[in-house]
Every structure is written in structure tokens, then in C-alpha cells.
Structure 1
Amino acid sequence: MAFYLVSAVPKHGRLEELGERLASAEFMTLRPFGATLSASLANARMRRDGVAVWEEEDYCAPPLAQERAAVLDDYFHDLRVEKVEQGEGWSKIQKLPRLFPDA
């Protein structure tokens, strides 16, 4: 398994829907990544430049291929990944404001 610090630009007008879908646990049934993706997005942060960031566990090559096809490409563009150790990504972004404060 690998861990990545993910950065992605939210698509205009799409974050509210994503937040609602996360709140209703809609992605939890996606296998094999639904629970991990849901938790990661619920805890995502927002940089000052408007880019969303989160740590994601992934097994795909290329990274996040299944997650992008099922969810991420509907809500984000310019998705980038940086390989990190487990927890390192969260440590880097923990002080940033939450993308979904009510999650």
C-alpha cells in the first residue's frame, strides 16, 4: 500500500454536492476504496490558493485511478499526488481550514 498527499482544484460550484454526498455516506459502498476515500475527503483541507489537499491510501497504478474514475474527476481538476509516509500528509496540512467544516 502507498500513501499520497493529494492536491486538487475544486471544480466551480461542485463542492456543495460533494459535501452532501459525503454527509449521506454515499461513497461508502464503493469497493474497495469507498470508506477510505470518504474519510479522506471528509477531513480534506483548503490551502489559501483554493486548492484542496488530503492524504489518501491507494493501491492503484497510476495512483487514484479507480477513485478518479468513480468520484474525484467529477469534483476536481489538476489532481496531483506526492508519495508520503502514512500520516505525513495529514501532519503537513493539519493547521489548514477544513474543506468541509461540518463533516
Structure 2
Amino acid sequence: MAYRLVRARPKVDRLVELRERLDTGEIEAMDPFGRAMTQALEEARFDPASGEAVWIEEDYCSPPLAMERTEVLDDYFEDITIVEEDVEETAGWQQISDFPGLWKQVLDDVQR
């Protein structure tokens, strides 16, 4: 399996919609990447220093995240960057474990 360490700048005004699509299972139903993307975005973190969302994504596309960007990610994030193309999943999540959860951080700010 290939895992990518991803950073991206959230389009904050669009994240409520993304959260709704995750909650309804719409993204999870997308084949072939929906389940992995849903899991990654559910666990995404927020880097307060850069203002970026950070997550580990299971991905087999060439170029990386091609289908995911076209179908979902480009609608909700800008400046999507693959920081590491082949990271071990557990080690990748450990690298970002000190960051607060994306949804807690960003949705709280949007809803104020």
C-alpha cells in the first residue's frame, strides 16, 4: 500500500459542506478511493503555524491523488502538497499527532 503525507490549505468557507458530505457517506461511497479518503479526512489534523490541514492518504494514483483531487479535494483545499510520497501509515500519523483535529479547530472557527 502507498501512503502519502499531505498538506493543503483549507477553503474554510467550504468545509461545512465537506463535513456534511463525509457525514452522509457520500464520499465514502465513491469508488475506488472513497473509503480511504473518508478515513483520512475524518482523522485530518490542523497545523496552527501554517494554517494547513495535514493528513495521511492511502493512494495509488499517478500522479498522486489524481482522482481524489478531481472528485473532492480541489473543491475544498488549495495548495495541495504531497510532503512524503511513501510514508509508513502509523509513522506518518505519529508525525502529526500533536496537531489539533481539523474538524474541531476549523469548524469551531467557522461557526462562531
Under a length normalisation based on structure 2, what TM-score does the superposition of the two structures give? 0.85
Q: Which runs of 5+ in 1 are unaligned?
A: none
C-alpha separation in 2, matches of 1:93 and 1:78: 18
What is the aligned residue count?
101
Identical positions, percent? 50
User: Which is further off, 30-39 or 83-92?
Assistant: 83-92
Bigger radius of gyration, 1 or 2?
2
The equivalent residue for 2:20 is 20
Under a length normalisation based on structure 1, what TM-score does the superposition of the two structures give? 0.92
The equivalent residue for 1:39 is 39
Instruction: Write out the 4+ residue segments of structure 1 that deviate beyond 4 Å after TM superposition.
Output: none
Give the match's secondary structure for 2:9.
Answer: strand
Q: Is 2:102 aligned against 1:92?
A: no
The equivalent residue for 1:51 is 52
Equivalence map 1:1-16=2 (5 Å): 1-16=1-16
> How big is each residue's C-alpha offset from its partner over 1:33-92, in whole Å with a ceiling of 9 and x where there is no partner?
000000100110000121000000100000000000000000001000122122221011
Of Structure 1 and Structure 2, the greater helix share is in 2
The equivalent residue for 1:71 is 72
Q: Which amino acid aligns with 2:76?
A: Y
C-alpha separation in 1, matches of 2:22 and 2:58: 17
Give the match's secondary structure for 1:19.
Answer: helix
What is the aligned-residue RMSD (CA, Å)?
A: 1.0
Q: Which runs of 5+ in 2 are unaligned?
A: 105-112
Give the match's secondary structure for 1:7.
Answer: strand
Q: Give the CA deviation at 1:9.
A: 0.3
